[in-house]
A and B are shown apart, each in its own frame.
Chain A
Amino acid sequence: MQPSREFVRLLTDSQSRLYAYIFALVGDEAAVSDVLQETNLVLLEKCDEAMAASSFTAWAFGVARRKTLVHWQTRGRERLVFDESLLKMLADDGACAAEKTAGRMGQLKRCIGQLPDLARRVIDARYQAGQTVSQIADLIGRSTTATSQLLYRTRLSLLECIQAAEADAEEERA
């Protein structure tokens, strides 16, 4: 069992999409890297099967979904809030949303560049500097709640911006 260069490329390219997909199903940053590592381990060990699959990404998402289910079933065994039926509901649409992630990186960068100054500072502080909401609140002189709301609405603005850019691109192609 020896991976081809193409397998390694597919595995590398899939990382951001797998990360996004697993995050949507796990909802916990501390756990998502664990599940991603477990998923990668299975993908590596079954690289022959992965390459034989009609869609590498679909296969990889399938493995990630199964590892996510194991995560929920073995995590804090007394509760299972994201059970198999909910994961099933989220999985197909989540795969679709995550599939778009890689293609959206360029648009995302442009949209961040178009944000008003304050919103840009908040996004940079949260993601580039890795600051907490209360740290950001101190930084911009607002309450924690107001900062959390601003951060959330900035995320929605970025989604609107990406959607508009995709619509424009679609129009140009047509």
Chain B
Amino acid sequence: MTSSYHHAELEPLVRAMLDGGLDETQWAQLAYLLRQDADARAAYLHITTLHAALNWQAGNTQATWPAAKQTDAPAVVGRLGGRWRWAAIAALFVVVVTAWFVALPDHEATRSAPDAQDPSPSGYAMLSDLSSDAVFADDSHPAALGGDLPSGPLRLTAGRAQVLLDGGAVVDLIGPCVFETIGPDHAQLTSGQIDVYVRPEARGFTVETPAGVRVVDLGTRFEMQIDPAGATNVFVHEGRVQVEFAGRHEQFEASEAVRLADGQWMMRRLGTGDDAIVEHFDDAASRGLNAALEDHAGVYTFTRKIAENTGNRNFIRTRATQFVTMDFIAEVTCTLPANSAGPNIVFFGIGGGVPDPSEWDNPIPALYFEAPPMRIEIDSGVDREDSVVHQFSEPGPGRHRLQIRKLGDAVTFAIDENYQGGAFHADQACTLSLSKAAPFLDSTNSRIFFGSQQASEPSTFDDLSIRILTGTSSPSHIQQEN
């Protein structure tokens, strides 16, 4: 006898889902079937609910409940991305519930009025995530995680927050940042940096700036920042956006960027490859380093398909010295061991890429990442002490991808923490005026460099990429049409 819950098309998909895992094609097939067929939806819900009940009954899925008394709820809310985030949320759940259990009054509380409203979005967006180090200016602290954003600007002074707009856009705010939602698909960026993702069907999301820049999403992922000089910088990672400014509008595609200031458009496009410097170190041990790079003191080995120092602190650097005159995106992945100390310190920056013997062999003259602790430092030359320009929240040991991006006078240092591969997604970022922060850099001493020193458990580097942003008078699709 055929079960009333049987559905021939559904069966192989649900079997795969419950007992093995669906591939991309099967997910799409399942979604299509569930959209089109009410019987399939009903059967799907019955079977998945039964599966969940069986799992629950077997004790495979117990929620995390308080295990020990603790009265101080931590500031930790959760890290964006990856396992750290979920671990932190789970930890918070345990601790907060415990704190509340401990604080429970002896009497039974009574329920509130039954005619109160069920929750429904009252604003234009909800706060969908926060990093552990997120800090808001007091008067702009949003509702709790999952709550609707209040009206008015959201002033994130540090860390990272994610906002889900009712129109479907997902906006990551990278502090310090002032951002305001002014409609379900409309927002204003007053300062700082945002990373925006809008799925194709939610296109039309618009961000404006006080300087009169308007960016209309056409189904894409893009970054937008207002730098210290007040310029608006837009980088398109996927899809296309329309930018409107000073009575003109242009569309930009993936790998294109534009800097807008004083009524001027400065358009850039990532080089196609000839001018890029890419070194994965996979066969550098046998064929030598990429010809565009040099191991300044010959102390690096690549036998493990990564770059690791076997001698004193020194640097691998570009042969080209004029990066201060160019726009570029430079990235390298560094792995910091658990027991980090002096020898494990890593450097990645723009500058001379030579060690300063009078100061721990730190790089000079340079503006650079240094970790741990993760920070931006500056050192103008021999016998001049280095100084911290910006201190990041500590990402801790692990594999992190570091990025230095220059567009005009704006130089952004960004970190993709616990990097798993793929496109770079900034967890933290700091943008500086290059001319103000490092006026000593010029066309003779501005290389891209990285380095560390020998250690029993060394920090290592992998997958260096330096891509040039070339100037263009118009976006690529306009040129193609011509």
Contacts and interface: CB of A to CB of B under 8 A. Distances in A.
Contact of B53 (A55, A70, A108, A157): A108
A93 interface: yes
A92 B54 CA distance: 22
Contact of B109 (A4, A16, A67, A109): A4
A53 interface: yes
Interface in A24-71: 24, 27-29, 32-34, 36-42, 44-46, 48-49, 51-55, 58-59, 62-63, 66-67, 69-70
B48 A27 contact: yes
B92 A41 contact: yes
Interface in B424-442: none
A34 B57 contact: no
B4 A54 contact: no
B119 interface: yes
A2 B107 CA distance: 13
Interface stretch (B98-106, B150-158, B462-470, B473-481): B98-106
A77 B54 contact: no
A145 to B, nearest CB: 9
A81 B93 contact: no
Contacts of A81: 27-28, 30-31
A34 to B, nearest CB: 5
Interface size class for chain A? 35 or more
B54 A127 contact: yes
Given A20-B56, A93-B45, A38 B3 contact: no
B63 A42 contact: no
Contacts of B58: 127-128, 130
B275 interface: no
B147 A127 contact: no
Contacts of A54: 114-116, 118
A41 to B, nearest CB: 6
Contacts of B45: 24, 90, 93-94, 97
Interface stretch (B9-17, B133-141, B304-312): B9-17
Contacts of B90: 37
Contacts of A40: 63, 93
Interface string A113-136: 000000000010011101011000
Contacts of B86: 34, 37
B108 interface: yes
A75 to B, nearest CB: 11
Interface string A133-157: 1000000000000001101110111
Interface stretch (B18-26, B226-234, B399-407, B409-417): B18-26
A51 to B, nearest CB: 5
B205 to A, nearest CB: 13
Contact of A36 (B31, B60, B63): B63
Contact of A104 (B44, B53, B146, B197): B53
Interface string B434-466: 000000000000000000000000000000000
Given A4-B104, A73-B168, A149-B15, 11 more contacts: A20-B49, A23-B49, A27-B17, A36-B63, A37-B63, A42-B146, A53-B117, A73-B164, A81-B28, A82-B31, A89-B35
18 contacts: A2-B100, A5-B108, A36-B63, A37-B64, A45-B96, A45-B146, A52-B113, A73-B199, A77-B197, A94-B49, A101-B53, A126-B54, A133-B19, A155-B54, A156-B3, A157-B3, A159-B47, A159-B50
Interface of B: 3-6, 11, 14-15, 17-22, 24, 27-28, 30-31, 34-35, 41-42, 44-58, 60-61, 63-65, 86, 89-90, 92-93, 96-97, 100-101, 103-105, 108-120, 126, 128-129, 144-147, 162, 164, 168, 170, 197, 199, 201, 221
Closest 8 CB pairs of A and B: A4-B109, A42-B146, A52-B116, A45-B144, A20-B52, A52-B112, A156-B3, A127-B58
Interface of A: 2-8, 12, 15-16, 19-20, 23-24, 27-29, 32-34, 36-42, 44-46, 48-49, 51-55, 58-59, 62-63, 66-67, 69-70, 73-74, 77, 79-86, 89-90, 93-94, 97-98, 100-101, 104-105, 108-109, 123, 126-128, 130, 132-133, 148-149, 151-153, 155-160, 162-163
